[in-house]
Amino acid sequence: MKQQLKDEITALLRPVSRQADIWVKWQKNPDTVKTYRDNDGQLVGITVFSTNDFHPHAQGFTSYVQLGSESLYPLLLADVQLIARKNHKDRLATWEYLPLSHFSEWLLAHGFTEWRQTVMPTVPLADIAVPHRRHQNKRLMTLPELKRDESNLYGELMWTSLSDYAHNHLINPVKKMDDFDEWPQQFADVIQDAPIAIANQTPHIGAYTFLFEDDPHVLTMSWVGANHINNLRALQAAQINWAKEHGFTTLRGEFDSTDYWAWTTLHEWPFRPAPVYAMLGCPLPQEETAQ
């Protein structure tokens, strides 16, 4: 991308927060940008196209249109549909922090719906009081312990977590994995010495919550599942106590509204309000054919 165009896009996006998705997507995909100009040649809008190999069905896009250029909306959408057909996609998806932009509101009036909300709230661990409890007939287990278990609890966890993830993303399906070894790669950076699952005597997994340290002293909960709320509460209470004992100061979550147990976790602990990241989408309309 030429420096002049970079400067133009930077000027166009100046009113937009640097945390907005249009900035993130542009910096990540600088070579997939389509520009829109007014009759005087001034840049008034851009769309950044994106794809995700893990969710291969959707054509992603993020757009920004300058106020006063709303007449471009139908053209932007038509261009996205064109790219989606070229890339053999069958649905469209875009993302934005609430409140939605005028363009996103327009999309909702033209066939799009909200597919999912995602939040990443935090809470100081000092604000959470959790008693230490013994768990009769249940075992708290780390990832290495699960791998060593002779009852194949590790295999059960992998299959269960993949099944849960696929169920929570039916509207934008995950790719088919012929090689099951590919799924555990999603957890390559999980904390190894923290409990991530609770197992009963059967033995079977009663609940799981994967833990990560994305930032120093910040424990992130993600990828959540359970067969009963009591199992999830017991596991996460133990995880919070473990975090306090190991120098963590903040608990963070990454929770999707389509994930029942993740959303339950959001309301189980005193997380502070956080920005809401909305995913909008629609099926790709069938291409009109000439009569």
Same domain assignment for residues 83 and 159? no
Structure-block tokens of residue 200: 């009963």
Same domain assignment for residues 129 and 247? yes
Give the 3-state secondary structure of residue 212.
Answer: strand
Helix spans in the chain (H): 3-12, 21-28, 73-86, 102-108, 143-148, 153-168, 229-245, 260-268
What local confidence, expressed as pLDDT, does residue 289 receive? Answer: 55
Give the 3-state secondary structure of residue 220.
Answer: strand
Q: How far is CA 24 from CA 82, 107, 121, in A?
A: 23, 21, 20
Same domain assignment for residues 39 and 138? no
Tell me how far apart the alpha carbons of residues 63 and 280 are, in angstroms, rounded to a whole number. Answer: 13
Residues 216-244, mean pLDDT to the nearest whole number:
96
Same domain assignment for residues 11 and 64? yes
For the stretch 130-182, pLDDT in tens is 877 776 678 999 999 999 998 899 999 999 999 999 999 999 999 987 666 78
Same domain assignment for residues 211 and 227? yes
Q: How far is CA 96 from CA 47, 88, 247, in A?
A: 13, 24, 34
pLDDT grade for 114, boundaries at 50, 70 and 90: very high
Q: How many domains does the chain have?
A: 2
Same domain assignment for residues 88 and 192? no
Same domain assignment for residues 93 and 145? no
pLDDT grade for 35, boundaries at 50, 70 and 90: very high
Structure-block tokens of residue 31: 């070579």
Q: What is the DSSP letter of 4?
A: H
Tell me how far apart the alpha carbons of residues 4 and 147 are, in angstroms, rounded to a whole number. Answer: 54
